[in-house]
A and B are shown apart, each in its own frame.
Chain A
Amino acid sequence: MDVTMSYETQNLWTWWLAVYLYTGGLGAATLAVTFLTDMYLKPHRNLVIWGAGAGVVLLAIGSMMLFGHLLHHLAAIHILNPLVFFKKPDAWIAWGTQFIIWMMVWGVLYALPYARETPFLKRLPLIGKVLEWGLVIKICEAVTRFRKFVGWLAVINGVGVTVYTGLLLQSFPAVALWANPGVPLLFTVSAFSTAMAFLLLIMYTVIKDAEDTRIRLLYERIDLVLISAELVILFSFYFYLKRGSESAMRSWELLFTDFGWLIGFIGFGLIVPFFLELRGVVKGWTSHVPIITASVLVLMGGYLLRHYFMYAGIYAYPW
């Protein structure tokens, strides 16, 4: 009954799930952003290779986290099967898994023609061979013909993945921190913000193409907006939790008394990069260091957000 309550921080899905949510969101958003850039801003082979590559690798890392923690690995076969939609249209993991799979499939396809032009990939032992297969060449031709179509399929699935990471948590009704419409929003915004940061980092450190200034500037602006949006969402979370249900209040206590969250995430993960980027957009920086720093901080903050979200999920039990 409701006379006594006990509280428990969930201990089932811990940091490893935060990794899954983080790499999933980051990878998917990166892929989506690079493909959109490639389709509408400027065809950019390097960016697409990076975007698709990061998408696949990061999602693979995240999925392995989840897969590794399954109780029964063989049974995972049930959700790999697309028919799962007919069976469980209401389960976000079912959607998420399919988004992830199809995002990877379409992502790889979209990048395939570029891959065939990338010397580095052609030099790789196995992949280099595969890229020369007749079938692959045929596929590349088809993809080139339906480039936007394939691109959009990948982007849609990618965005699906980012939203899904939030929806997943939102579907756990007992935890006020999770079960609210702010979460998918927050996670989507954060995913795209980290993707921007990731791409800026790549463009400043690996690709280093002077022609990309326009893109970089655009990314910086978008990131600024996303960080602001994230701060606004967090601001509303603050009040939602503080005056919320038992579960919400306990989550509030955990989050807003924790330096890792306050200083680590909100301070260094959002506010510091916000100002660094604001200045970059308004006045410009003479060096790349501040933006690289901001990007690294945003990436770190992105993980902290998910980590703290998992950690601060409180169940209020009536016993």
Chain B
Amino acid sequence: MTHYAMVIDLNTCVGCNACMAACALENQTPVWDDHKWRTYVHDKEIGVGNSVHRRFFPRLCNHCDNPPCMSVCPTGATYKKANGIVMVDQDLCMGCGACAMACPYHARVAITYADVALGEEFYGSDYRRSSPSMDKCSFCDHRVEKGLKPACVETCVGSARLFGNLDDPQDPVAQVVASGVARPLMPHIGTRPNVFYIDDLKWRG
């Protein structure tokens, strides 16, 4: 079986935003609205006093194994594929927003009628959307199906984003997840995320 997962190594993410740009163009997201990215890279200042650290924190849909966004979805637009990818069916989605409310990772964005109209103008004849819906990262399922990596992973100049198959013991992603070095976000919520992070803070002293 295939069980896709992403590992994000915070040690080599430089906050370059290439993933944001790649994702936007690959997935035709509404770039005219700075709140509507499928993936975000936050730029955070952490630490106290003079021991301050600048952390870049990429986030996206976690493709949860127990996705609350899916169970709340009344139309069935949100579904999970056999390969673990949580998808939104554009045509089925009525955009009620329940999924966005349910998602603990703020992973969903609303594509409105206005966005669709702008999208037609912006992406021209290639625009693949015909109706509004909730939208989110698809792990680039259309690429993955072709054996390619997700757009953000492909271009990640820091090689911070790794993509792989948890069911393949030879896969480096599976190994780093199994080792416990890469950890999911807020696992206590019970979502069973498939995006894992390698911490960038080592205690130095």
B186–A318 contact, CB under 8 A?
A: yes
What's the Cα separation between A72 and B74 when bound, in Å? 14
Which of B101, B103, B110, B134 has its CB near the most chain A CB atoms (within 10 A)? B101
The reply on A168 being an interface residue by CB < 8 A is yes
Chain B 49-84 interface mask (CB, 8 Å, partner A; 1/0): 000000101010000000010011111110000000
B101–A12 contact, CB under 8 A?
A: yes
Which of these binds chain B: A91-99, A132-140, A184-192, A264-272? A91-99
Within 8 A of A (CB), among B69-110: 71-77, 91-98, 100-106, 110
A79–B74 contact, CB under 8 A?
A: yes
The verdict on A88 contacting B73 (CB below 8 Å), with A1-B197, A70-B96, A173-B191 known, is yes
Q: How far is the CB of B130 from chain A (nearest CB, A)?
A: 10
Question: What chain A residues lie within 8 Å of B105 (beta carbons)?
Answer: 317
What's the Cα separation between A319 and B195 when bound, in Å? 14
Question: What chain A residues lie within 8 Å of B97 (beta carbons)?
Answer: 12-13, 69, 71
B95–A78 contact, CB under 8 A?
A: no
B103–A174 contact, CB under 8 A?
A: yes
Which of these binds chain B: A3-11, A33-41, A48-56, A112-120? A3-11
Report the nearest B residue to A96, measured CB to CB: B74
Question: What chain B residues lie within 8 Å of A174 (beta carbons)?
Answer: 68, 102-104, 186, 189
What's the Cα separation between A74 and B133 when bound, in Å? 11
* B-side interface size class: 35 or more
Contact of A168 among B68, B98, B189 (CB under 8 A): B98
The reply on A87 being an interface residue by CB < 8 A is yes
How many residues of chain A are within 8 Å of chain B by beta carbon? 38
What's the Cα separation between A92 and B98 when bound, in Å? 10
Q: How far is the CB of A314 from chain B (nearest CB, A)?
A: 12
Report the nearest B residue to A90, measured CB to CB: B71
Contact of A91 among B72, B91, B103, B104 (CB under 8 A): B72
What's the Cα separation between A75 and B73 when bound, in Å? 13
B72–A93 contact, CB under 8 A?
A: yes
Question: What chain A residues lie within 8 Å of B134 (beta carbons)?
Answer: 71
A75–B75 contact, CB under 8 A?
A: yes
Interface contact tally, CB-CB below 8 A = 123
Chain B 20-38 interface mask (CB, 8 Å, partner A; 1/0): 0000000000000000000
What's the Cα separation between A94 and B57 when bound, in Å? 36
The reply on A66 being an interface residue by CB < 8 A is yes
Question: What chain B residues lie within 8 Å of A84 (beta carbons)?
Answer: 74-76
Chain A 62-90 interface mask (CB, 8 Å, partner B; 1/0): 00001001111111101100001001101
The reply on A259 being an interface residue by CB < 8 A is no
A1–B95 contact, CB under 8 A?
A: no
The reply on B132 being an interface residue by CB < 8 A is yes
Chain B 161-205 interface mask (CB, 8 Å, partner A; 1/0): 000000000000000000000010110011100000101010000
The verdict on A71 contacting B101 (CB below 8 Å), with A1-B183, A1-B197 known, is no
Question: What chain A residues lie within 8 Å of B93 (beta carbons)?
Answer: 71-72, 75
What's the Cα separation between A94 and B78 when bound, in Å? 13
Question: What chain B residues lie within 8 Å of A69 (beta carbons)?
Answer: 96-97
Contact of A172 among B57, B77, B102, B183 (CB under 8 A): B102
A79–B101 contact, CB under 8 A?
A: no
Within 8 A of A (CB), among B114-132: 131-132
Contact of A12 among B75, B100, B132 (CB under 8 A): B100
What's the Cα separation between A315 and B186 when bound, in Å? 12
A171–B72 contact, CB under 8 A?
A: yes
Question: What chain B residues lie within 8 Å of A3 (beta carbons)?
Answer: 46, 201
B94–A79 contact, CB under 8 A?
A: yes
What's the Cα separation between A69 and B98 when bound, in Å? 11
The reply on B19 being an interface residue by CB < 8 A is no
Which of B44, B57, B96, B133 has its CB near the most chain A CB atoms (within 10 A)? B96
B131–A78 contact, CB under 8 A?
A: no
Question: What chain A residues lie within 8 Å of B44 (beta carbons)?
Answer: 4, 319
Q: How far is the CB of B140 from chain A (nearest CB, A)?
A: 22
A-B interface, 4 closest residue pairs, ranked by CB to CB distance from nearest: A71-B95, A174-B104, A93-B74, A75-B94
* A to B CB contacts below 8 Å, 18 in the list: A1-B197, A12-B100, A12-B110, A66-B96, A69-B96, A70-B95, A72-B95, A74-B94, A75-B77, A75-B92, A84-B75, A84-B76, A87-B75, A88-B73, A92-B74, A173-B190, A174-B102, A316-B186
Given A78-B92, A92-B74, A171-B72, list of 7 further CB < 8 A pairs? Answer: A13-B97, A71-B93, A71-B113, A72-B131, A79-B75, A172-B98, A315-B106
